[in-house]
């Protein structure tokens, strides 16, 4: 499919591409040779792009004319190209002075064309029985954009980097449930990070995640809670208790509903945060499924999460088929961290221990179920530890298994109120002792 732009806009794209380095860099991945209506335009863009990729600078017109010789058709004359270049160079400046307008048009066309091609390719893959590859094709199409970030210039950015390090007020920190953890993390976790809570079944992984989501709401953050095990209403009921302080049993009383609703409205008015709860059938969703959900939320609800909760890791599928469970879980962990980086948010998830996790007093990385590899990618991991006596007393111990940006391997005692499901740090002698 070729551009539906006017001839002058298409020539304007070529003029800017061959003469404006910033424009070329922003547009080179969006513009395809076959998008141009005229073959001569396609050839000119091709030689400009090839030249830049090889020499890292834009060619002048003499180099362009020399470079088109191997590509021009038998009936084409070199003078056809020199005449076209002259026409391009003498464009009305009003056609090309608004680079941002042209870039927006180029980007919009590229996104639509990428999705059309992805749909066509997906149909071919389905016919070939390669259904698992469809998600990757569609994801790549959704990622088409002109955002360019080539990284940090180490020496040039020295002052800005140190300002970011020392000016903690400018840093966006996500608090955990436990002040001692935040202290070790110099205020909390950061965006683009993956955090993980580890525990045996039934100890409180999901409860921790809901409490962590509530903490995010009290910081005014938009939270997306993805449940791969419990239905949405059941998860929402946990939020009802934690946010309002109402006992789970009392929530079921009709007389409580009005007061619960009033408290939730007060909470929303105070913190101005949004919460979306989405369930997927167990073991059907992949990280690409979550990517598609994020696109839908932004396009249809204008919702962009600051914090994503995935409950929990083992109930996701890897985006590509992996034979061994060990590699599958490591792959999912890597994909979740990639998602956090793409969307500049913090992502919390949970994972199971092996059978030994029920028998030890403190769960470490040695008790990770099925795959040690899944903890390699995460930035922060804690385990939840509880004896029968501690459960009866509403107590628990968290142990820092891994902390990329803080102190690891220390215990923080906790309290758990199983009536309103709230978790928090217990009074005790500091973990620094």
What is the pLDDT at residue 426? 94
CB atoms within 10 A of CB 406: 19
For residue 2, is pLDDT > 80?
no
For residue 164, is pLDDT > 80?
no
For residue 337, is pLDDT > 50?
yes
- Looking at per-residue pLDDT, the higher value among 111 and 62 belongs to 62
For residue 393, is pLDDT > 50?
yes
For residue 402, is pLDDT > 90?
yes
What is the pLDDT averaged over residues 205-213?
A: 97
Considering the domain 165-425, what is its CATH architecture?
3-Layer(aba) Sandwich (3.40)
Distance CA 340, CA 212 (A): 16
pLDDT, one tens digit per residue, over 71-89 is 988 888 899 999 999 999 9
Contacts of 9 (CB under 8 A, 6+ apart): 3, 95, 102, 105
Residues found in the chain: 433
pLDDT, one tens digit per residue, over 90-102 is 887 666 677 888 8
Question: What are the counts of helices (DSSP H) followed by strands (DSSP E) for the chain?
Answer: 17, 9
In the block, tokens 């870039």 appear at: 103
pLDDT, one tens digit per residue, over 114-131 is 888 889 999 998 999 888
Q: How confident is the model at residue 44 (pLDDT cuts 50, 70, 90)?
A: very high
3-state helix, strand, coil in the chain (%, to 5): 50, 15, 35
pTM of the model: 0.69
Which tokens belong to 204?
């409180």
What is the pLDDT averaged over residues 133-139?
A: 80
* DSSP result, 8-62: HHHHHHHHHHHH-HHHHHHHTTT--GGGSSSHHHHHHHHHHHHHHHHHSS---HH
* DSSP result, 156-199: TTHHHHHHHHH-GGGS--B--S-HHHHHHTTTSB-TT-EEEEEE
Distance CA 91, CA 13 (A): 11
Least confident of 49-53, 113-117, 152-156: 152-156
- Looking at per-residue pLDDT, the higher value among 382 and 9 belongs to 382
Answer yes or no: are the C-beta atoms of 398 and 199 closer than 8 Å: no
For the chain, domain boundaries: 7-113, 165-425
Considering the chain, what is the average pLDDT of its residues? 87
Contacts of 129 (CB under 8 A, 6+ apart): none
What is the pLDDT at residue 95? 61
Contacts of 88 (CB under 8 A, 6+ apart): 11, 14, 15
Task: Please tell me the number of Cα atoms within 13 Å of 415 on its side-chain side.
Answer: 9
What is the pLDDT at residue 341? 93
Which tokens belong to 330?
């490591």
What is the pLDDT at residue 430? 42
Distance CA 82, CA 60 (A): 12
- Specify the 3-state DSSP secondary structure of 317: strand
What is the pLDDT at residue 369? 64
Strand partners, 423: 416
Answer yes or no: are the C-beta atoms of 303 and 274 closer than 8 Å: yes
Counting Cβ atoms within 10 Å, is residue 79 exposed (0-12), middle (13-18) or buried (19+)?
exposed
For residue 168, is pLDDT > 60?
no
Answer yes or no: are the C-beta atoms of 286 and 318 closer than 8 Å: yes
Instruction: Domain 7-113: state its class.
Output: mainly alpha
Distance CA 397, CA 415 (A): 8
For residue 47, is pLDDT > 90?
yes
In the block, tokens 């390090």 appear at: 165
What is the pLDDT at residue 427? 79
What is the pLDDT at residue 107? 86
First to last CA, the chain: 68
């Amino acid at each position: 499919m070729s551009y539906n732009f006017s001839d002058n806009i298409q020539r304007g794209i070529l003029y800017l591409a061959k003469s404006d380095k910033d424009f070329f860099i922003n547009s080179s991945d969006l513009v395809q040779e076959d998008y141009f209506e005229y073959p001569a335009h396609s050839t000119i863009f091709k030689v400009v792009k090839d030249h830049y990729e090889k020499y890292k600078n834009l060619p002048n017109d003499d180099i362009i004319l020399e470079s088109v010789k191997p590509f021009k058709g038998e009936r084409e004359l070199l003078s056809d190209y020199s005449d076209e270049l002259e026409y391009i160079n003498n464009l009305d400046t009003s056609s090309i002075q608004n680079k941002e307008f042209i870039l927006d048009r180029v980007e919009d066309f590229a996104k639509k064309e990428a999705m059309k091609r992805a749909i066509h390719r997906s149909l071919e893959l389905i016919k070939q029985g390669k259904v698992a590859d469809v998600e990757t094709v569609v994801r790549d199409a959704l990622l088409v954009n002109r955002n360019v970030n080539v990284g940090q210039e180490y020496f040039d950015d020295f002052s800005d980097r140190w300002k970011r390090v020392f000016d903690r007020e400018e840093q966006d920190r996500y608090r955990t449930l436990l002040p001692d953890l935040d202290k070790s993390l110099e205020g909390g976790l950061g965006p683009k990070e993956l955090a993980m809570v580890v525990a045996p079944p039934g100890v409180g992984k999901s409860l921790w995640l809901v409490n962590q989501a509530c903490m995010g709401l009290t910081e005014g953050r938009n939270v997306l809670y993805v449940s791969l095990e419990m239905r949405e209403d059941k998860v929402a009921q946990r939020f009802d208790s934690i946010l309002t302080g109402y006992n789970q049993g009392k929530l079921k009383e009709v007389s409580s509903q009005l007061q619960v609703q009033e408290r939730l409205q007060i909470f929303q008015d105070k913190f101005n945060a949004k919460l979306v709860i989405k369930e997927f059938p167990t073991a059907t969703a992949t990280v690409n499924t979550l990517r598609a959900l994020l696109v839908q939320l932004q396009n249809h609800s204008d919702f962009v999460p600051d914090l994503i909760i995935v409950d929990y890791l083992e109930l996701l599928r890897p985006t590509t088929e992996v034979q061994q469970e060990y590699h599958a879980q490591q792959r999912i962990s890597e994909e979740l961290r990639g998602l956090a980086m793409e969307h500049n948010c913090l992502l919390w998830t949970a994972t199971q221990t092996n059978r030994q996790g029920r028998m030890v007093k403190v769960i470490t990385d040695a008790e990770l179920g099925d795959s040690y590899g899944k903890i390699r990618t995460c930035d922060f991991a804690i385990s939840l530890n509880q004896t029968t006596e501690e459960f009866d007393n509403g107590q628990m111990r968290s142990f820092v298994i891994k902390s990329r940006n803080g102190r690891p391997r220390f215990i923080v005692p906790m309290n758990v109120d199983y009536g309103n499901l709230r978790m928090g740090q217990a009074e005790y002698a500091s973990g620094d002792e």
